Structure 1
Amino acid sequence: MLTIDVAVLLAVVVFFRLRRRTEARSRSDERMTVVIVPALDILNGPTPAGQGILNAFEEPASGVTEAGR
C-alpha cells in the first residue's frame, strides 16, 4: 500500500520551486511559494491547526490511493 505524507510532498514541492532562478519566477509563482512555505510549517508543527489541515489533505489523498487499487 502506498501512503503519501503531505508534509514530505509539500517539502518536495518547495524544494523544486525554490531551485528555479529568481528571474524565471513570475509574481504569482512567488506568491504561491509564500503560501506553500507557511502551510508546510503548519503541517510540521504539532498544533491543532496543523492537524486539522493535515486531516483535510489526508481525506482526498486516501481517496486517490483507494481509487488506484
Structure 2
Amino acid sequence: MMTINVGVLMAVIVVLRLRRRTQARSRVEERNTAFIVLTLGIVIAPTPLGQGIFNVLKQLVSGVSQAGT
C-alpha cells in the first residue's frame, strides 16, 4: 500500500504552477495558485515542520523589529 503526504503533493503542485511564465497566466489561474498556496500553508501549519518554520520566521521578524527601533 502506498500513501501520499498531502503537504508534499501540494508543494509539488505549487512548484509546477509557479514555474510557468507570468505572462501566460490568467486571473483565474493566479487565483487558483493563491488558493493552493493558502491551503498548503494550512496543511503544513500544525506539523512539526510548520511550527519550526513559524519559530524561525518569528525570530527573524523579532530581530528585524528590534534592529529598526
**Percent identity over the alignment?**
60
> Please, which runs of 5 or more residues in structure 2 have no aligned partner?
48-69
Q: Hey, what does 1:58 align to over in structure 2?
A: none
Larger radius of gyration: 2
Q: Which amino acid aligns with 1:22?
A: T
Q: Hey, what does 2:13 align to over in structure 1?
A: 13
Aligned-residue CA RMSD in angstroms? 1.2
Deviations 1:9-29 (A, max 9, x none): 000000000000001111100
> Please, which runs of 5 or more residues in structure 1 have no aligned partner?
48-69
Q: Which amino acid aligns with 2:23?
A: E
Q: Hey, what does 2:46 align to over in structure 1?
A: 46
Q: Which amino acid aligns with 1:8?
A: V
Q: Structure 1 residue runs of 4+, over 2 Å off?
A: none
Give the 5 Å matches for 1:1-69.
Answer: 1-46=1-46
The SS at the match of 2:35 is: helix
TM-score (norm 1): 0.65
Query: Using CA pairs below 8 Å that are at least 6 residues apart, which structure has the higher relative contact order?
Result: 1
- The number of residues matched between the two structures is 47
TM-score (norm 2): 0.65
